A and B are shown apart, each in its own frame.
Chain A
Amino acid sequence: MRTLMYDTYSVMWRELKHWMDQKVRILVSIFQPLIWLALMGNVMAKLTDNPFGRQAFGGASYLSFMTPGIIVMTSLFGGIFGGISVVWDRRWGYLNKMLAAPISRTAIPLGKMLATAIQGAFQSLIVVIIASLFGVEFATGIPGIIAIILLAACFNFTMAGLSIAIASRIKTMEVLTAVINFLTMPLMFTSSAMFPINVMPDWLATIARWNPITYVVNPLRTLVISGWETGDLIKGFLYVLFLAILMLFIARHEFKRSIA
């Protein structure tokens, strides 16, 4: 157990070093939510100008409605590309270097997932800051923001696990990127991240209710718009935590299978 933690830190340290080295990537992570909020917020603002619209969006401005959606979206994309480094490490032979050392095999996926979670927390914080600059008020204040960031980090962790699991089977970058894009886009647009379920056509609403992203967005949304709805919040947290742990085991299993 001590070895696992020690080795996980080693792997995570390397990933974070890589991340901090990519200044452009950090800049993009700032500008992307900025553009989303500025663009979507302005274009869609009219949606919530009328009472009907306001009701559909849970009595909030579209920007407040959108903010949790953007947090989940950045987590989804950031997370799902977090596992890609496994493919690079395999291709450059660095993976073998790690595997020839007496480090815990679980530490490799876990370290990468944790590094992604930390990046996700950082990115969510940026989205929160930008959103408040655009005038979004967080109903639950600072503790709520901390809860939002924790949830987002958990979701990042889960998605990184998913991508490690996929990357353990698909070992070429080109195919992997295609598969990931194929997965993320529909996942995003069939969830309640962009639009409320109650304005969706029935078929889409049914998909959205089953979409895991909806389960993550909903507790985030209550934190931003309506305040501490403890029941929903606990349900959401437990769900995300369950997903994270499940994905850790799947990623670990798939990764170990790929190196056996």
Chain B
Amino acid sequence: MKVIEVKDLAKTYYSPFGNIEAVKGISFEVEEGEIFGFLGPNGAGKSTTIMMLTTLVKPTKGTAKILGYDVVHQPNEVRRVIGYVSQDLTVDDTLTGWENMYLQGRFYHLPKEVIKQRSEELLKLLRLYERAKDKAETYSGGMRKRLDIAMGLIHRPKILFLDEPTLGLDVQTRQDIWEYVQKIRKENGMTIFLTTHYMEEADSLCDRIAIIDKGEIKALDTPRRLKDSIGGDLISLKISNESLEEISKFLEKVKTLEVVKNITSQDGRYTIVASNAEKLIPVIFSIAYESNINISSITMKKPSLDDVYLAYTGKEFRDEEGSKEDAMRMRRLVRRTR
């Protein structure tokens, strides 16, 4: 069963200084029970998409249906079946863990006993029960995020939207959070729609991934097939020869080999895409020997999602991290000065 159906969804922000096309007509579907990941650099349109699906932003064009409910015409029906955990830490610091859960339960019109029972369940599951009587301002970053996620689950949503849920958290906490999310998904048969900028997470967690850049979906498939789509393994070479002519002759020769799909160069490194790279390396060496080429270093790797990302967006994912982290730190700083 399809739980999310998106067709030609677009959002343009109009301003006197020029219009920004945040999302340019994307279409995709998400099946029940899937973990569906959205990957993309800052400003790619990830958050705008999530906000349209969670009824927080009205689309300029196109339609989006959540469990058959239209996000524009039936927003309240949509809101009842979805949970939303935004990338900001949106727990109320002046309230205790219990009070935060209580208020959230009230927002979803749950009866008092149900709120109490589910809060207890979730607070225990997310290891917050012992601290539930303390104010959230005394919690660590990881605890706050866990509380945030617990709040997003109190009404047992059919679909959970997680916008960068592990942003700025340490490795241990990140792992914990994913463990809980997996557990909860198994218990409730929930569908999860997430954005993350940690490649390994997307790779190991998501059933399918959409790569979004400049408001468009560049690729959408399972992580396995996305990696396969690159065409094979990656061999990276560094050559110490001065003469570019010699090098290009050598590369021409390598290119004629049947298993080699593609060769690219970046900053003096040459990347050869090939299937069966293990067997290709000795061949490369013998060609190098014949053509008087000195290979100063060689590495081989199976493609990661990073490589897929780079191939589809032309950007190295790591470039984006710095600014995101900084933004997060800034946000924390402001939060503390409140």
Contacts and interface: CB of A to CB of B under 8 A. Distances in A.
B79 A102 contact: yes
Interface string A52-67: 0000000000000000
Given A92-B335, A260-B58, A97 B108 contact: no
Contact of A98 (B80, B89, B107): B107
Nearest to A103: B107
Chain B, interface size category, equals 20 to 34
B292 to A, nearest CB: 61
Contacts of A18: 94
Contact of A100 (B58, B82, B89, B106): B82
B56 A96 contact: yes
Interface string B63-98: 000000000000010011010101111101011000
A3 B80 CA distance: 14
- By CB atoms of chain B within 10 A, which of A10, A17, A93, A102 has the most? A102
A186 to B, nearest CB: 30
A147 to B, nearest CB: 33
Contacts of B94: 17-18, 21
Contacts of A259: 56
B115 to A, nearest CB: 12
A195 interface: no
A101 B86 contact: no
A112 B151 CA distance: 22
- By CB atoms of chain B within 10 A, which of A3, A13, A93 has the most? A93
B99 A96 contact: no
A164 to B, nearest CB: 19
B109 interface: yes
B92 A101 contact: no
Contacts of A242: none
Contacts of B125: none
A99 interface: yes
Contacts of A97: 84, 86, 90, 104, 151
B79 A100 contact: yes
A103 B108 CA distance: 7
Contact of B90 (A6, A17, A92): A92
B275 to A, nearest CB: 46
B196 interface: no
B55 interface: yes
Contacts of A6: 106, 109
B37 to A, nearest CB: 20
B103 A102 contact: no
B92 A96 contact: no
Contacts of A21: 94
B60 to A, nearest CB: 13
Contacts of B119: none
A93 B58 contact: no
B56 A99 contact: yes
Contacts of A101: 79, 104, 107-108
A3 B107 CA distance: 10
B48 interface: no
A97 B106 CA distance: 13
Contact of B54 (A3, A7, A100): A100
Contacts of B109: 3, 6, 102
Contacts of A100: 54-56, 79, 82, 84
Given A17-B94, A21-B94, A93 B86 contact: yes
Contact of B103 (A3, A14, A88, A96): A14
A102 B108 contact: yes
A18 B94 CA distance: 6
A134 interface: no
B103 A10 contact: yes
B107 A7 contact: yes
A94 interface: yes
Nearest to B87: A93
A14 B335 CA distance: 19
Contacts of A96: 51, 56, 84, 86, 88, 90
A99 B84 CA distance: 10
A252 to B, nearest CB: 17
- By CB atoms of chain A within 10 A, which of B92, B104, B338 has the most? B92
23 contacts: A7-B106, A13-B103, A13-B106, A14-B92, A17-B94, A88-B338, A92-B88, A92-B89, A93-B86, A93-B87, A93-B88, A96-B51, A96-B90, A97-B104, A97-B151, A98-B107, A99-B55, A100-B54, A100-B55, A100-B56, A101-B104, A102-B80, A102-B108
Complex A-B, nearest 5 residue pairs according to Cβ-Cβ distance, in ascending order: A93-B88, A101-B107, A100-B84, A102-B79, A93-B90
Given A17-B95, A260-B58, 8 more contacts: A17-B94, A92-B335, A93-B90, A96-B86, A100-B55, A100-B56, A102-B79, A102-B80
